[in-house]
Amino acid sequence: MIRVIGAGLAGCEAAWQAAQRGVEVQLFDMKPEKRTPAHKTDLAAELVCSNSFKAARVNSAAGLLKEEMRRMGSLLMECADKCSVPAGGALAVDRELFSGMVTEKIKSHPNITLITREWTSLPDDGVNVIATGPLTSDALAKDIKARFGGALSFFDAAAPIVTAESIDMDHAFTASRYGKGDGDDYVNCPLNKEEYEAFHYALVNAERTPLHGVDVQNPKVYEGCMPIEVMAQRGSDTIRFGPMKPVGLTDPRTGHRPWACLQLRKENADGTMYNLVGFQTNLRFGEQKRVFGMIPALKNAEFVRYGVMHRNTFIDSPRLLNADFSLRTNSNLFFAGQMTGVEGYMESGVSGLIAGVNAVAAAGAGDRLILPPYTMTGALCEYISDESVKDFQPMGANLGVLPPLEEHIRDKQQRACKYAERSLKYFDERGLAHETDS
């Protein structure tokens, strides 16, 4: 029997992988008895930030990682593919359908028992996978810190969601950048120069929600989830070359590229809700309505969820973990998910996949799984266990973590294709084939 503590993305994937290999799994989660401020439902594998799993194309870092997960029988990828919503070149999901499907599959698996319980300290017996996530409860986080010499922490944020019917389409248009996707995957909210400058001024001067907890004296904010107001402080054009970049878009009202443009992406399959892409925020709720309402298309927007900011915790993995996500000092104790310093939904999922398979090996019921570093999965495993990494920070899938190709290729797209071919050849040679479209 294996214990998996935490029924988020990593925990569900770890439990599934172990159960699929014939091992009995006890999957623990403190919901519904207790929630963190970021959780809104009692479902497993809840998506607390964006509903996007990043790029879909295989010749991209995020797309390659997802394809590798498909090849390895990922539960999360099976559910994500079935719950997808249009998102241009990205894989996005209806978050409730996705979490509901994962929850149902977990509950119906004969080898998995889902148990409501909060663990306040690390278990000392048996084989265990700790996948309590970046929002690990205070008591367990305190125990981890006491045992391993201190946990690191940072803050990240979620973006608001608005109703589709409240978007003023007289000041918006549907299109994907450069015509990718079906052409109407995004609702685009353009601003002219005067509108943008007024919005930017209001944004950087808006009132923010105070942070609470022990980390607030010198809070670190992870770049991948940087609040829009913090990013805007870096310069008047920073967000215009970031989340509000207008490149690849033409406003049909003017026939020209907007000065700046916010994109809205479908939040659910029915298209009744949209999230503000890249607009993670820590503004007070009233300020979000006021400031984001300065964008013409959102002047009457109805917010079904305001953006929030919350603490994330991760351990100093290069000093603590092996490449199979086991503890260097205890081969029966595994960590998985964003707590290990992998950043992103599917990065968390794949860490759970690797930890789950290797937990089975630790229990004497299977073979150990270590992927070569020229696969995206293997490269992430190597990064979190590389003792030469000094200033350890969260890392998502990116082509920079892969070892160089034997041949030098100048063209970026061709080089990405070669990275993907090299990785997927490994899976092909082991009979783990899956149709791809790069």
Residues 260 and 123 in one domain: no
Strand-pairing partners, residue 379, are none
Residues 306 and 389 in one domain: no
Residues 304 and 192 in one domain: yes
Residues 105 and 184 in one domain: no
Place of tokens 């919005």: 199
Give me 157's structure tokens: 């944020």
Record the pTM.
0.76
User: Among 80, 66, 153, 202, which Cα is nearest to 393's?
Assistant: 153
| Strand-strand pairing, 127-130 and 330-335 | parallel
CB 347 within 8 A of CB 378: no
Q: Using the 3D structure, point to which of 294, 311, 328 is the last residue of a domain.
A: 311
User: Among 48, 45, 28, which Cα is nearest to 105's?
Assistant: 45
Residues 27 and 54 in one domain: yes
Residues 306 and 339 in one domain: no
Give me 81's structure tokens: 């593919």
Q: CA-to-CA distance for 141 and 135, rounded, in angstroms?
A: 9
Residues 301 and 350 in one domain: no
Residues 225 and 285 in one domain: yes
Place of tokens 């549907």: 174
Helix, strand, coil shares of the chain, percent, nearest 5, are 35, 20, 45
Taken in order 12, 17, 20, 22, the sign of the CA dihedral is negative
Place of tokens 């229990």: 363
User: Mind listing the pLDDT tens digit of every residue in the chain (438 residues)?
Assistant: 999 999 999 999 999 999 999 999 999 999 988 877 667 789 999 998 789 999 999 999 999 999 999 999 999 999 999 999 989 889 999 999 999 999 999 999 999 999 999 999 999 999 999 999 877 888 998 999 899 876 667 677 788 989 888 999 999 999 988 777 666 789 999 999 999 999 999 999 999 987 654 344 445 665 667 899 999 999 999 999 999 999 999 999 999 999 999 999 988 777 888 999 999 999 999 999 999 999 999 999 999 788 888 777 789 999 999 999 999 999 999 999 999 989 889 999 999 999 999 999 999 999 999 999 999 999 999 999 998 887 687 788 988 888 888 888 888 899 999 999 999 999 999 887 664 443
Find out whether the peptide bond into 318 is cis, omega within 30 degrees of 0: no
**CB-based burial label for 33 (10 Å; 0-12, 13-18, 19+):** exposed
Domains held by the chain: number: 2
Q: CA-to-CA distance for 260 and 240, rounded, in angstroms?
A: 6
With both helix axes pointing from N to C terminus, report the angle between 75-82 and 9-20 in degrees, rounded to the nearest 10: 120
Domain that holds residue 176: 161-311
3-state secondary structure of 372: coil
Place of tokens 């998506």: 47
Listed in sequence order, the DSSP H helices in 109-165 are 138-148
3-state secondary structure of 135: coil
User: Among 38, 51, 71, which Cα is nearest to 161's?
Assistant: 51
Q: Is residue 435 in a domain?
A: no
Residues 296 and 169 in one domain: yes
Residues 374 and 252 in one domain: no
Q: Using the 3D structure, point to which of 311, 344, 371 is the last residue of a domain.
A: 311
CB 107 within 8 A of CB 114: yes
Number of CB atoms found within 10 A of residue 121's CB: 12
